[in-house]
Homo-oligomer: A and B are copies of this chain.
């Protein structure tokens, strides 16, 4: 740590220590009350929050692209949505702490339990609503947290932490330091956040690209675990048994937003279904997308050739967000192989009226969310489980994979009670 500017390091350490001390004091009732207060305070302080956001947006204008600026912006409508979301979180059921209880043949009483993780770090993009979302989920699972936002949103996030979250915690009788903040826009802040294993054992890393990979590596070297919410890119496979209208409708619905990880990124059209290709292309052109075809797709339609790997995620390519890839595949096996091997494994759907084909596709697909006649946009914690997500984890590891919600943010613990008659 010698090479870190001490002021950043010390500042974050202080927030982490405060969050550590707060961790054992959280209760389900207290958190529900605090989240209710978050809703009220967001409404009370709407103009203050909006003003902070305007300052952030003004400072970033010209420096950041339109999509990023849009995500940075909190207008009154979006602020009201924040309040509603916090209240919705408040009313969700708390985690059941006891998963199972059983008695071993020798009489030993065993409980499998969920205990809080402690203090969790969260590093996210310059989107102030994410700060409130993530903080709410950490609290709801009785964890405390230290947040770090992309620098462009620091004013707004500071306002949300100091003027909403902390007062709400205090109003509910909980320690306000339960939510800490990295109070610098310096990227060094993110590096410190993933380097304090004694204080912050787990860090949620949103975002993709080299910066995130570097953070993950640094975390690993420091003995800090990460939940990576990285690559995405939805796949839609149009099988020969598809109805053309359904394929078109699903493609349309999967493209309502372009900067999100679960949008349609790669359309796979079966060779036996190329008759449906023109209809899909019409949808893409209507959305004014830059349609890129693989070599074999270009043989079937007049497309610009693809100049990236087939699974390349356009949503995380700021210059080319409005792009979609089209491939023509040799059948179901080919489609599912591409989805499994050439994409991040976030989500893939099939369009077909042939239920045996759908089942085969779903049985073979290994990503986090497999779909049949449903848009890839449903690969989302709120849409699937009713709880907002911290992000979607595409790791190939047991644990919270796919959409991660507060229901995932716990540690397994066994509690064992004997009476002196149990011997090994």
Seen from chain A, the residues whose Cβ lies within 8 Å of a Cβ on chain B are 24, 104, 108, 110, 115, 117-118, 201-202, 216-217, 219-221, 225, 227, 246, 249, 253, 256, 349, 362, 364, 366-375, 377-379, 383-386, 395-403, 408-420, 422-424
Q: Is the CB of B201 within 8 A of A374?
A: no
A246 to chain B, nearest CB (A): 6
Q: Is the CB of B415 within 8 A of A362?
A: yes
- Residue of chain B at shortest CB distance from A414: B369
**Contact residues in B for A104 (Cβ distance below 8 Å):** 383-384, 386
Return the contact of A221 from the options B24, B220, B227, B374 (Cβ within 8 A): B220
- Residue of chain B at shortest CB distance from A256: B424
Q: Is the CB of B108 within 8 A of A374?
A: yes
Q: Is the CB of A108 within 8 A of B378?
A: yes
**Contact residues in B for A419 (Cβ distance below 8 Å):** 373
Return the contact of A396 from the options B225, B366, B383 (Cβ within 8 A): B225
**Contact residues in B for A373 (Cβ distance below 8 Å):** 417-420
Q: Is the CB of A253 within 8 A of B367?
A: no
Q: Is the CB of B216 within 8 A of A397?
A: no
A365 to chain B, nearest CB (A): 8
Q: Is the CB of B384 within 8 A of A110?
A: yes
Query: Chain A contact residues: over half helix, strand or loop, or mixed?
Result: mixed
**Contact residues in B for A413 (Cβ distance below 8 Å):** 366-370, 401-402
Return the contact of A384 from the options B216, B366, B414 (Cβ within 8 A): B414
A104 to chain B, nearest CB (A): 7
**Interface core residue of A367, A372, A403, A414 (most chain B CB under 10 Å):** A414
Q: Is the CB of B411 within 8 A of A401?
A: yes
Additional A-B contacts beyond A225-B397, A403-B414 (15; CB < 8 A): A24-B364, A108-B378, A110-B384, A202-B397, A217-B221, A253-B423, A366-B413, A369-B415, A373-B418, A373-B419, A375-B423, A378-B418, A398-B400, A398-B408, A402-B413
**Contact residues in B for A416 (Cβ distance below 8 Å):** 349, 369-372, 374, 378-379, 384
Return the contact of A424 from the options B220, B253, B367 (Cβ within 8 A): B253
A304 to chain B, nearest CB (A): 29
A24 to chain B, nearest CB (A): 7
Q: Is the CB of A375 within 8 A of B424?
A: yes
**Interface core residue of A202, A227, A370, A399 (most chain B CB under 10 Å):** A399
| A371-B418, A416-B372 known; A399+B398 contact, CB < 8 A | yes
Q: Is the CB of A378 within 8 A of B412?
A: no
Q: Is the CB of B414 within 8 A of A368?
A: yes
A397 to chain B, nearest CB (A): 4
**A408→B373 CA distance, assembly (Å):** 31
| A383-B104, A415-B362 known; A201+B398 contact, CB < 8 A | no
| A24-B364, A418-B372 known; A399+B396 contact, CB < 8 A | no
**A416→B118 CA distance, assembly (Å):** 33
Q: What 8 A-B pairs come out closest when comparing CB atoms?
A: A399-B399, A220-B220, A374-B418, A201-B396, A225-B397, A401-B412, A373-B418, A369-B414
